[in-house]
Structure formats: structure tokens, C-alpha cells
Amino acid sequence: MNKGLFLLLAFSLFSVRTTLAQNPDKLLLKDYRPKSIYKIPITAVPKAKFPVIDLHSHPYPKSDAELADWVKTMDEVGIDKTVILSYSTGAKFDSIQKQYSKYGKRFEVWCGFDFTGKDKPGWIKKAVKELERCYKAGARGVGELGDKGLGEFYSLPTAGYGLHIDDARMKPLLQKCAELKMPISIHVAEPYWMYEPMDSTNDGLMNAYQWKIDKTKPGLLGHAALIKTLENAVRDNPKTTFIACHFANSEYDLSILGNLFDKYPNLYADIAARYGETSPIPRYMNSFFKKYQDRLVYGTDMGTSAKMYSTTFRILETLDEHFYEFDQFGYHWYLNGFGLDDETLRKVYRDNALKILMK
């Protein structure tokens, strides 16, 4: 076969495959990448309107050079301070704290709880002692704790499976956090799409399938039960400040979070990594932010890129409509801006965080 004929056949096969892939009857949801054709305002927001404190990030950089690049990006986009939720205790926490302390007040590293030996006598005294040690080493908060149904598994070096935040065995740790004025950042449950059937009725299917909850696991607490563990802990520890990560994963019904805010002044919530879940309902979100502007705090939980930050600013600050961002969010739906007013923005971006950090 001569080269020309080979190239012609190869191109023909490629064209057939491409045509089949774009046929709506054959197109896979994971390959659906729509582009908006609306001729409507597109607002670039490279820097936040007001100085920002990010209360939900993690130790993403793997080297000092990457960390230096992150600080440069923070300067460019208007992030004054970032809270690093390390999950960690012991040597791991010490290592992270040492790396980030080089930048002074630009970062604040929070520790985890030490669940090592949690099923043995004397564990809680050791855990409290390690919390005190981490505090003396620079930790000013705890997080991110995480419970998706089987217990506090976001913890290094040892997971706390079997322990929920309202477990009586956790009480001394929660009380010590109150004494040391260490807020607790806690992730309970997952967005509700992850609990719904993984079928054609699930409008968040493309992302939900990746993070779906296996409800067949023995002892697994469901969404409502996990929210209840959070409420129990917040109610029973009124001197401890809690930050519910990701709107308490109640984006599908934010009245759940609103009711908790109404009852418990020691509860806040961060908005990290839930921009994709909430931007389809911008008018509702504008109203919710305005009503609870004193209880919501900015967070990212999505890496360190300038584009990531600018996307969050665009959603919070502008009234842009019907735009897509597939690099950051796993859903196939379009996004909209909330158009928050300046008073609300200042509180969410910075003032509420200061209230928490300066207690």
C-alpha cells in the first residue's frame, strides 16, 4: 500500500470515529463539552475585589520552589492568608509547619487529631497531649476532619474509623479545642447527588459517579445521620468553634445549614470546592449569602492556580451567566455568578475569618 492511500484510509477511519462519537445517540456523558454561543458579558476577575483569607486549602506544593510560586500567585490574586488543613499530627505536622512557617503570617497550618491506638486504654489522654504539643508547635486550629459515614478517616498517620464527631470519646478533644481556642474544620457527608441512584435521573451524574457513596457498607451513616452528628457536637460543645466544610455538603437543601446557623452561634461554614454545585442556582445563593453573611467563609480546596482563584471570584462577584469551567468542576452543567454585594463580599472574603482566627 502506498503512503498516500494509507493516509487517506487513516483519515477516513478517524472521520468515521469522530462522527460516531459526536452522534447524540453514541455520545458519552464524559465526552460532553458544550461551548456557550450566547453573546453576553464575560467578566475577567484576575484579583479579588477585597483582600481574602482562604480558610480551606491543603499542603499542595511538593517543593520549596512550588511553595514560592504559590505565594507569588497569592500576591497576584489578592489572597492575604491561607489556612493549610494538614490532617496531620506528629512528625508529619512538624514537617509541614516548618515548611510553611518560613512565610510568617501568610499561612497558618492546622493539625489533625491523633487516633493512634484509639481502641486501647489511655488513648484519649495521649491524643489530648498530642493536640497540646501541636498547639505549642504552631497549630491554631484542627482540620480537616472528615466523615463520609464510617468515621473520622481524614487523619494522618492513623484514621479514626468508627469514631464520629459526636462520639463521647471525642469529648475531651473537643473541650481542649475550646480551651485552646482552636476552631475545628470538619467535613461531614458528601453532596446529595452522590447518594442518589447513578442513573439518567441524576442531574449531577458525571461528577456524582466518581464520588458515589457505597450505601451497602456495614455501619455506614447516611447524609441526614452525618448532619446530625455535626449538630450534636456543635450543640454539646458551645464554647468550641466549628467550621462545616463545603456548606456542610447540604447544597441541595441549604435550609439544613440555615437551620443550624439559626440555632448555634458557634457554627460557621466554608464554601470551598462547592462553587460548581451552587452556581446553577445564583439567585437563591445570593439570597442565602446575604442572609447568612456573618457565618460563611471563603475557601478553595482546589489547588493553587491563578485560574482557579479567578473562577471563584467570578462566581462570587459577577452576574455573568451560562459559562463553563470543566478544568475545575466535574459537572456538565453551566455556571452563573452570584453578584454578591460589597458588604457580603468583605465578610465572606475576610472579616468572618478574622473573627474565627482571632478568638
Q: Are residues 96 and 15 in the same domain?
A: no
Indicate whether 50 and 148 sit together in one domain: yes
> What is the reported pTM?
0.92
Q: Residues 205, 290: one domain?
A: yes
Cα(303)–Cα(82) distance, rounded to whole angstroms?
Answer: 12
Listed range (28-37, 86-95, 100-109) with the worst mean pLDDT: 28-37
Kindly state whether residues 58 and 9 are assigned to the same domain.
no
* Chain centroid, CA 97 distance in Å: 21
Question: Is 30 a residue whose pLDDT tops 90?
Answer: no
Q: How far apart, in Å, do the first and last CA atoms of the chain sit?
A: 78
23 and 167 belong to one structural domain: no
Sign of the torsion angle spanned by Cα atoms 196, 199, 202, 207: positive
List, for residues 213-244, the tens digit of each pLDDT value. Answer: 999 999 999 999 999 999 999 999 999 999 99
DSSP 197-225: -SSTT-TTHHHHHHH---TTSTT---HHH
- Residue 301 backbone dihedrals phi, psi, to 5 degrees: 65, 30
Residue 306 to residue 44: CA distance in whole angstroms: 12
Residue 117: phi and psi, rounded to 5, are 75, 25
Taking a C-beta distance cutoff of 8 angstroms, is the pair 299, 274 a contact?
A: no
Q: What is the DSSP string of 29-49?
A: GGG--------------SS-S
- Residue 20 sits in the same domain as residue 83: no
State whether 99 and 116 are in the same domain: yes
Host domain of residue 1: 1-32
Same domain membership, residue 6 and residue 102: no
Residue written as grid cell 472528615: 146
Residues 12 and 154 both lie in one domain: no
Q: Do the beta carbons of residue 166 and residue 236 sit within 8 Å? A: yes
3-state secondary structure of 275: helix
Q: How far is CA 60 from the centre of its chain?
A: 14
Residues 2 and 87 in one domain: no
Average pLDDT, integer, range 165-189: 98
One-letter identity of residue 181:
K
Count of domains in the chain?
2
Mean pLDDT check: name the lowest of 30-39, 56-65, 168-177, 253-262.
30-39
In this structure, are 165 and 228 located in the same domain? yes
At 12 the pLDDT is 46
Q: Is the pLDDT of residue 2 over 70?
A: no
Confidence (pLDDT) at 3: 53
- Which H or E run includes 188? strand 184-188
Question: Which domain CATH number covers 327?
Answer: 3.20.20.140
User: Is residue 59 domain-shared with residue 23, that is, in the same domain?
Assistant: no
Q: Which residues pair with 15 in a beta bridge?
A: none
